[in-house]
């Protein structure tokens, strides 16, 4: 209970500091300063004029109360000046109060509206978000992509998704008319720009999906170059970030692998492969569609197996899933999760050997380590390694995120 209360207090204080910082960049502090000066000077003036003649205004806190009530036009009537000078000053303060409060409330309303408009245009940073899902780039079928992403990532909600693209805010507003996407966040800008990624609070994000943005007039080379720049920049800003990037040309794949990108999508290569298989009249295209469809009852899934099977054989693990849920294991996915962290763990293990020649081989294997490396249909006695997951054809199973 105390921990929950502490988190609420921290979030509230962060909100106040954020709004204060934004207000400092406007003329609100000047107006507040003027209002404070009027209150203090008015309270002192009334006190000097009424003290000794008016028992209701004989202390500073009494005059301060009277001035605040007068300026805000509340007028309780519990205290009032009785001297000619005090009454004259009171009339002036009432007129000033009407004017100054109108200005203050107008400025505050204008500030709040401006902040709301900036948020709608994607100009407000996401400094308070953490463990969120960032999607960079734009495609015509992005609404469908969002639906599938939320299906596959069980528990992912729209308010935890941040879109980064260069679309007009009206396009994003149309997207938000879908109730499922009403609370989605938006950052306007080029996702290859470090400052734009910083505004999306990339340092606290959990996952980033970089799409090959084909919405503009850029060439495929320019599109892939921006994808590579965005991926490398994101990796440098957050080493623990899970990075998934889409490429149009496979020649850039090596650059992303060297940059510790966890997963690379070669969308055009996949399309060509499906077309080629379909042309052989083998029906492989139907099989692949059934396996990768998010709505399939027998999808191809990746699932964590119990730690007790680490060091045991592929056959034992396969038997476990068949007995438990009638799922057919077809392989193992190694080095899952964040590649940078996997390499750090492997490096520590590699350095434990006292044999120099073996140490060199170990370090070489760490360097060549590939993220999410699939080993399909391995031998029955294949030894299962740490940070591996089972690749299987599930039965009414749902996807799991690591």
- The predicted-structure confidence for 159-183, as pLDDT tens digits, reads as follows 999 999 988 888 888 898 999 998 9
Residues of the chain with CATH 3.40.50.720: 133-270
Query: What is d(CA 150, CA 359) in angstroms, rounded to the nearest whole number?
Result: 43
Task: Specify the domain boundaries for CATH 1.10.287.70 within the chain.
Answer: 2-120
How many C-beta neighbours within 10 Å does residue 160 have? 21
Residue 125 in contact with residue 201, Cβ under 8 Å? yes
Q: Are 88 and 114 in contact (CB under 8 A)?
A: no
Would you state the structure tokens that stand for residue 37, as one six-digit string?
């000066």
What is the arithmetic mean of pLDDT over 23-39?
67
Give alpha helix (H) positions in 280-392. 284-292, 314-325, 339-350, 356-367
- Decide which of 12 and 370 is more confident: 370
- Predicted pLDDT of residue 308: 93
Q: Which CATH number is 133-270's, of 3.30.428.10, 1.25.40.10, 3.40.50.720, 3.30.1330.40?
A: 3.40.50.720
Q: Name the DSSP letter for residue 378.
A: -
Q: What is the pLDDT of residue 73?
A: 64
pLDDT at 384 over 90: yes
Architecture of domain 2-120: Orthogonal Bundle (1.10)
CA dist 374 and 192 (Å) reads 29
Q: What is the DSSP letter of 100?
A: H
Q: Left, alpha or beta for 183 (phi > 0: left; psi -120 to 50: alpha)?
A: alpha
How many Å apart are CA 368 and CA 388, to the nearest integer?
17
- Among 122, 145, 280, CA closest to 214: 145
User: Is residue 285 scored above 70 in pLDDT?
Assistant: yes
Res. 203: pLDDT tops 80 = yes
d(CA 150, CA 153) in angstroms, rounded, equals 5
CA angle, residues 344, 348, 351, in degrees to nearest 5: 135
Who's near 91: CB < 8 A, 6+ residues apart?
Answer: none
Geometric angle at alpha carbon 109, from 104 and 110, rounded to 5° = 95
Strand bridging mode 133-136 / 207-210:
parallel
How far apart are alpha carbons 158 and 132 in whole angstroms? 10
pLDDT at 67: 79
Mean pLDDT for all residues in the chain: 80
Largest Cα span, the chain? 106
Q: What average pLDDT does range 71-85 have in this prediction?
A: 72
Q: Compute the 3-state secondary structure of the chain and give helix, strand, coil in percent, each to the nearest 5.
A: 55, 10, 35
pTM exceeds 0.75, yes or no: no
* Least confident among 4-18, 132-146, 207-221, 335-349: 4-18
For residue 384, the tally of other CB atoms under 10 A from its CB is 20
Provide CB contacts within 8 A for 238, sequence distance 6+. 202, 203, 204, 205
Percent of the chain with pLDDT over 90: 26
């Amino acid at each position: 209970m105390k921990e929950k209360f502490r988190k609420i207090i921290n979030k509230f204080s962060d909100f106040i500091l954020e709004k204060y910082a934004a207000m400092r960049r406007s003329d609100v502090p000047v107006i507040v300063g003027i209002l404070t000066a009027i209150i203090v000077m008015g309270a002192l003036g009334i006190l000097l004029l009424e003290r000794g003649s008016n028992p209701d205004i004989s202390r500073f806190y009494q005059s301060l109360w009277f001035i605040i009530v007068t300026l805000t036009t509340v007028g309780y009537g519990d205290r009032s000046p009785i001297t000619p000078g005090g009454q004259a000053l009171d009339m002036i303060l009432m007129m000033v109060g009407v004017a100054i409060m109108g200005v203050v409330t107008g400025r505050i309303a204008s500030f709040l509206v401006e902040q709301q408009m900036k948020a709608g245009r994607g100009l407000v940073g996401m400094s308070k978000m953490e463990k969120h899902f960032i999607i960079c780039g734009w495609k015509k079928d992005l609404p469908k992509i969002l639906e599938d992403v939320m299906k596959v990532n069980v528990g992912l909600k729209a308010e935890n998704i941040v879109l980064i693209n260069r679309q007009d805010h009206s396009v994003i507003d149309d997207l938000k008319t879908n109730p499922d996407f009403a609370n989605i966040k938006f950052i306007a800008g080029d996702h290859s720009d470090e400052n734009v990624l910083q505004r999306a609070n990339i340092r606290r994000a959990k996952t980033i999906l970089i799409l090959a943005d084909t919405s503009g007039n850029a060439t495929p080379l320019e599109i892939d170059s921006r994808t590579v720049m965005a991926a490398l920049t994101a990796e440098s800003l957050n080493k623990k970030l899970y990075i998934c990037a889409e490429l149009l040309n496979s020649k850039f794949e090596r650059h992303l692998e060297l940059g510790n990108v966890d997963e690379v999508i070669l969308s055009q290569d996949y399309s060509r492969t499906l077309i080629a298989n379909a042309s052989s009249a083998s029906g492989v295209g139907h099989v692949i569609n059934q396996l990768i469809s998010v709505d399939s009852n027998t999808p191809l899934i990746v699932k964590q197996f119990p730690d007790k099977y680490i060091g045991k054989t592929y056959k034992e693990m396969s038997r476990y899933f068949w007995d438990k849920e009638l799922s057919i294991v077809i392989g193992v996915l190694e080095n899952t999760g964040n590649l940078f962290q996997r390499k750090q763990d492997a490096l520590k293990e590699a350095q434990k050997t006292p044999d120099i020649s073996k140490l060199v081989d170990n370090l070489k294997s760490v360097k060549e380590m590939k993220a999410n490396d699939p080993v399909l249909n391995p031998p029955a006695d294949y030894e299962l390694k740490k940070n591996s997951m089972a690749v299987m054809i599930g039965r009414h199973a749902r996807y799991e995120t690591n």
